[in-house]
Amino acid sequence: MSESLARKAAALDAADELAGARKLFTLDDTVYLDGNSLGALPAHVPERVADVVNRQWGQLRIRSWTEGDWWTAPERIGDRIAPLVGAATGQIVVGDSTSVNVFKAVVGAVRLVDDPARTDILVDATTFPTDGYIASSAARMTGHRIVPVDPSDLASALGPATAVVLLNHVDYRSGRLHDLPGLTAAIQDTGALAVWDLCHSAGALPVGLDAHGVDLAVGCTYKYLNGGPGSPAYLYVAERHQASFDSPLPGWTSHADPFAMTPGYEAAAGSTRGRVGTPDILSMLALEAALDVWDGIAIEAVRAKSLALTDFFLECVEAYVPAGRVTSLTPADHAARGSQVALRCGDAPRVMEELIARGVVGDLRRPDVLRFGFTPLYVGFADTERAARVLADVL
């Protein structure tokens, strides 16, 4: 069986139209299945960052704000991310952390609704913890009620009291892909606004923010976008909302005339009003360089390979792993699957520790979930077969 699956992996790798992208990254013999937590390093980024440090900062110094186009980086890089999430230019600004952008988006959405009868902020009950923490704080600060809801029960929870709904596009534990088009439409049909967290989907599958009429969205850039540890997040505000978007963090760089240094605040036009303070230039320009790996890459091709990789991994796990040792939490249905496979496993901490020691790097979600992220730009089918075989050996 192992020889048959190894031959299949080789054939799939030979036919892979994205196989050439692997050489763009700094990789070793490890099977790296944790790109859904931290993407691999694009090979050209160190040289580009060295230029930012040595020439732009070291020689040009403050002149780089203009001569190096530092000042316009948040909007410029936002426009680089836009096609990967299905947005037109001028709607995404890069900066701050995902948590900060969740706060901006939720409070900004509440202010856009501006209806005292709409008292509820609904939040994904299975959400990544920070989204829940921030949404709860936003609810307290705006005098709203926080209502945790499982996405599968959202339709019945919506009503005339709903102001804003915050959802994760892909569940970080299970890899379940939620129905962004259908849920967005259901939310808006009740008069509420939809805010989506794209951390576990952007760069792995088509999102279609504009096509599906999403109101606001946030996301990180250090997972499938490979921006580096702690690279800045982004905020999407649909063009139709921008003129009325009232950020709860009106920092000086989102002012219409930031260098006038006036005591009164006047918001800038467009996506710029999502900025807050001075951009974090080193990590931001590292992200800009990292995005070069997407040149010429169609997100639809990435999605096709993602599904093929996760299908093949599940096939190999079924063939290799002793029966009853793991249970997949990831949906078999392609329409409900992100780009990871989550396996429930007894003694998961020990198993993941041993996998990493044997050169297969995934991650753990306590108490019992082994999580494997498949990044199509640099993960191949031979990697996938090897990971399943090593997992079987460990178990």
User: How far apart are alpha carbons 223 and 235 in whole angstroms?
Assistant: 16
Q: What is the largest CA-CA distance in the chain?
A: 72
Active-site residue among 104, 275, 337, 371? Answer: 371
Q: Which residue has the tokens 């990967």?
A: 84
Q: Which residue has the tokens 């460990």?
A: 394
Residues in binding site: 98-99, 128-131, 197, 200, 222, 252, 278
Mark whether 128 is an active-site residue.
Answer: yes
Between the alpha carbon of residue 355 and those of residues 38, 206, 313, 314, 381, the distances in Å are 18, 31, 15, 17, 18
Mark whether 223 is an active-site residue.
Answer: yes
Mark whether 371 is an active-site residue.
Answer: yes
Mark whether 222 is an active-site residue.
Answer: yes
Active-site residue among 25, 32, 103, 128? Answer: 128
Radius of gyration of the chain measured on its C-alpha atoms: 22
Give the rounded distance of the alpha carbon of 316 from its chain centre.
27
Q: Which residue has the tokens 């990544």?
A: 128
Q: Could you tell me which of 213, 234, 214 has the C-alpha nearest to residue 223?
A: 234
Active-site residue among 222, 224, 372, 381? Answer: 222
> Across the chain, where does the E strand assignment appear?
31-32, 92-94, 120-124, 145-149, 162-168, 193-197, 216-219, 234-237, 326-328, 340-345, 360-361, 363-365, 369-373
Active-site residue among 80, 104, 176, 223? Answer: 223
Residues in binding site for pyridoxal 5'-phosphate: 98-99, 128-131, 197, 200, 222, 252, 278
Active-site residue among 16, 34, 124, 197? Answer: 197
Residues annotated as catalytic (active site), given as ranges:
128, 197, 222-223, 371
